[in-house]
Chain A
Amino acid sequence: MNQPPVLDVVGVVKRFGGFTALDGINLTVAPSERLGLIGPNGSGKTTLISCISGSLIADDGQVRFQGQDITKLTPHRRTGLGIGRSFQIPRPFGSMTVAENVAIPLEYVGQGSRKEIASEARDILGLMRLDHLADTDARALNQIELRKLELARAMACHPKLLISDEAMAGLSGNEVDEILEILLAVNQRGVAIIMIEHIMRAVMGFSERIVVLDAGKKIADGAPEEIMRNPDVERAYLGE
């Protein structure tokens, strides 16, 4: 990992009133790296990615993206720079079709003509295996289709870093494999991925490196095999 990191989080602190949700987190992600972010419920995973994507502003510390300080930028500016995210609970634009959903980020992040946007939307939906649903209203989709739409919209932001927030929670074994294949295909296009996931089989198989959070602190950072053997991680998940 000699290339400069695509994402560099330095000492990020986030408090909600008296509760410290993130307590000085350091984290780097290399270009096209696959990083798994795990930790028990309430450990600060979603808060951390909110500070990275901009829906929350860190109280202290710095978030750098491709060398640029983005700590205080609004979410849409960060999206424009190349941070895409999918939401844990799908948030489709319900009054639009699937293709129109994908066209929104294409239009606002990219600069293409309407025709180029339509053809790129088709490409992305193809990659996500959603092309047969392009003209369906987004509110008519089922759970796995909604998850794929989340990823499709994130991809439409032309990200250099994609944050996948529990894209697989509640899905069946086959469906998990399908999402994993899609994410690997995305990664192969040179997009770095931060995957937040509770399904250990998925996150351990997918990630090149795992970061473990517990109570707002990073307690481990390393290859999946190391993490599995780490006594601190076991304690965080299972207690003493």
Chain B
Amino acid sequence: MRIGWFYPIALLLVLGGAFATKHVDSNFVFYAGYVVLQFIVLATAWNILGGFTGYVNFGTAAFFAVGAYTTIALNKALGLPLLAIMPIAGIIAGLIGLAAGYFTLRLKGVFFSIATLALAVVLETAVANWGYVGGASGSYVIPPAEVPFFDNYIEGLFSLMLLLAVVAVGIARYIALSKIGRGFAAIRDDEVAAECMGVPTLRLKLIATTLSGALMGIAGAPYPFYVTYVEPTSAFSLTYAVNSIAMPLIGGTTTWFGPVIGAVLLGSLQQWATVTISSELNLLIVGVTLVAFVVLAPQGLVGLARKLFGRGGRTP
């Protein structure tokens, strides 16, 4: 079997990250890096549905928060450690993705997007009224004092998110290069034609919503340990929805690496701006960049590069 270049590089990245935790002293690098990596997972997860099949999901925050609140609930109820909670968070968020997909995928275009936005609002209201996880006033999570192998908790979380990002990108890449991915692309281009060409469109779309939701949920699971205090407004923040749409759009939605490029660029820019200018500037940066790309490079950086270096187009 051909192994290709992707898996060795992915392994090197994870090992390199773990190695870095031993040799970089500044915790800021890991705090900031965690956020960028988290956005790589969210952008990649969003892109599996939004970029590959063309269904724009405005509810990223809902799935992310489902993951976060799964952690809070299970940590409080059973005292489960994060690593045990993450797969459960993925399953719950995946099932919500499946159910949401089943009920909303009949809606096309902007109507689907509005339905996903509504899902986020409904879930936020539900959580804000659920006393056990802190309701509207929020809830504290106390990270364990010691983590095996790592010197402190943030290094462990950083490495965990790095692993997750690599796995998420690996899944997206596997899909993009597989029969499922080609079916997704057919749905994005023309769903009616795809169905008539033998593509089981409903089943494929449900695979996309389930997988996308599950990855977002898993990305949200470590969040309570990262911030240690979670309340609905921050867990359901529009920032997640906006960023996870903007990043793939900036990078390019039709490929698996587009969202990675977008997340690294936009995520780093925001982290830099938070420290140097102001933390309130974040969404403005996202907004301006997004508008600039929609106007100047609607196919994202990947599309721009392809245009400049001429792939496709008509060869007479």
Q: Which residues of A are in contact with B by a Cβ distance under 8 Å?
A: 53-55, 74-76, 79-80, 85, 87, 91-97, 100, 103-105, 107-109, 135-137, 140, 153, 156-157
The reply to whether A74 and B197 contact each other, CB–CB distance below 8 Å, is: no
Q: A140-B314, A157-B197 are in contact. Are A104 and B183 (CB under 8 A)?
A: yes
Partner of B185, one of A87, A96, A109: A96
Residue from B179, B193, B194 with most neighbouring chain A CB atoms (10 Å): B193
Q: Is B148 an interface residue (CB 8 A)?
A: no
Contacts of B151 in A (CB 8 A): none
- The contact of B196 among A55, A97, A103, by CB within 8 Å, is A55
Instruction: Tell me whether A140 and B313 are in contact (CB under 8 A).
Output: yes
Taking a contact as CB atoms under 8 Å apart, the answer to whether A91 and B190 are in contact is yes
A121 CB, min distance to chain B CBs, angstroms: 13
Q: With the chains together, A155 CA to B201 CA distance in Å?
A: 20
Interface flags, B152-178, vs A, CB<8A=1, else 0: 000000000000000000000000000
Docked-complex contact B199 and A93, CB < 8 angstroms: no
How far, in angstroms, from A135 to B313 measured CA to CA in the complex? 9
Cβ of A173 to closest chain B Cβ, rounded Å: 25
Q: How large is the interface on B (under 10, 10 to 19, 20 to 34, 35 or more residues)?
A: 20 to 34
Question: Judging by beta carbons under 8 Å apart, are B190 and A93 in contact?
Answer: yes
| CB of B254, distance to nearest CB on chain A (Å) | 6
Give bound CA distance, A135 to B312, whole Å. Answer: 8
List chain B residues, Cβ under 8 A from A53.
196
List, in ascending order, chain A residues with CB within 8 A of B202's CB.
74
B195 touching A104, Cβ below 8 Å: no
Q: Does B200 contact A (CB under 8 A)?
A: yes
**Alpha-carbon separation in the docked complex, A84 to B196 (Å):** 7
A85 engages B185 (CB within 8 Å): no
Select one of A54, A79, A135, A136 contacting B197, CB under 8 A: A79
Contact B314 A104 (CB under 8 A): no
Measured between alpha carbons, how far is A96 from B314 in the docked complex, in Å? 12
Is B283 part of the contact surface with A, judged by Cβ < 8 Å? no
